[in-house]
Structure 1
Amino acid sequence: MKFRSAILVLTFGCGAPLLSAQVLVDGPILLTGPNDAAKQVTGIPVSTAPADILSAGAVQAGVVRTSPAVTGNSWLIDLPAMGTAPAAGTHLVVRAPLAAEGPVNVVLNGTEPVPVRRGSVDLNGSDLVEGTMLSLVHDGSAYQVLNGRSDLRRECPAGMADVNGQFCIDITERGSADFFEAALACSAVDRRLCSWSEFHGACLRSGALGLVGMTNNWEWTNNSANEDNSVRIVGASNCVSAGNGLASGSVDRQFRCCFTR
């Protein structure tokens, strides 16, 4: 097995002025002693200078990577232990501030701004929850956010209305089809048939949402009914109208697709 070389710092006293030297050891360093307590390096000074050895306490406390308070969208971080330009693998822990709409970047120890991203997408300051502790790792070109609110809501596609921030619904009905054809039509555009409760919630707010034809005929939902081979149909005359319709081989019906944000 090949071991990386180690550097020992030796200090000599004995009444004379202290002398220090570094010795390069091209092999492993084995700590020996009668028990585990004796097999340890002690007397390591508390220091976070880039060239100094770190004590276990300093590493466990995270003092070398935990950022002081930052503000706005450009985070000015002063951590002397990190040296100058950040390298790939640099790990920072930052308490998210109240930030504005727009991209976020990190300026570490006065170096050039480095963008903060989720994958290939720049982190938007308006998506941050103030006070969240963010774990950032430099990937060579940007800091990647490893935690925080990653499941961001998607925008409603064109022709759909946002009902309650959780899902979108088609503003107008789609052409007639049996249940299976309707379900496939929604799936083909990365959507799904609406549930009975989603239709009902949207119907109650149809005026405010600008929805058209919510109560002029029966529409398919993705809920089953209390009959074999039947599906829940809704909206014949009002928002609480509900019935059963054969999934196929009977009457084609209009339908709406829903989209989860």
Structure 2
Amino acid sequence: MRMILTIALVLALAGEVCAQVTLDVPLRLSGPASEQQVVGLGAPLNNTALVTLDGAVRTGWHWTTAQLLGNTISLTAAPAATVYRDGMLLRFLADANMDGNLLVSVDGLASLPLERPDGLPPVVGQIVQGSVCEVMYVAGHFVLLSAAERGCPPNTVAVTERFCIERSSVSNLLFFTASDRCAMRGGKLCTWDEYYAACVLVLPQLTGMFDQWEWMDDTSNHTQTVDQVGRTSCKSQRSAGVPATAIGDTRCCFHPR
């Protein structure tokens, strides 16, 4: 009887074996090298699960779901992350436009700073709602690897392939406040030639034009006086007086990379 059972077991193992099993000991394949294989593995359920070649190619376990909570990007991975390790690579679909001083938290772990490869925070247009983003954990922070801009940032108009301008202006800002605002958004105050080109080429797409003088970036700006443009026409220009007290409207220009 034992001989019959042994023969039956050998015959059963000679074919393909399919089952849901949990192994708590090493699995050693002793058949011919050309026939040694494990097929039918599913997606990994935890951090110690066996990963198939298909899974390694697709790196599906790096995919996460994202939710922006305040200035923190909360990521949920499957299987869940239990610790941050250098080189941890995660991808997600942005659920909102994101920029500025952002943090990343994975599966409830500590919230850590998100920076571009140059060490600066992401600017407008680099994390756009609906875009696929890729971040890597390195030495206590996350690096945004997918920071390349595609086209103009949101709420801007392409004047040429080289630069974009904001659709609407922001009112009643000091010169230095206006300059800082543009810098924080990844842009700068428009030069007079940029303002004029936008005014001539894409005027119907811009709002608030000629409502008030607008700040511009010009080589004639200095500590006693700064220049403004656009009060009544595309060619309007003046020196506005002391930059610490004079106010004006502003719209930023951007140079996509």
TM-score normalised per structure 1: 0.48
Q: By percentage of residues, which structure has more strand?
A: 1
From the CA coordinates, give the structure whose radius of gyration is larger: 1
Q: By percentage of residues, which structure has more helix?
A: 2
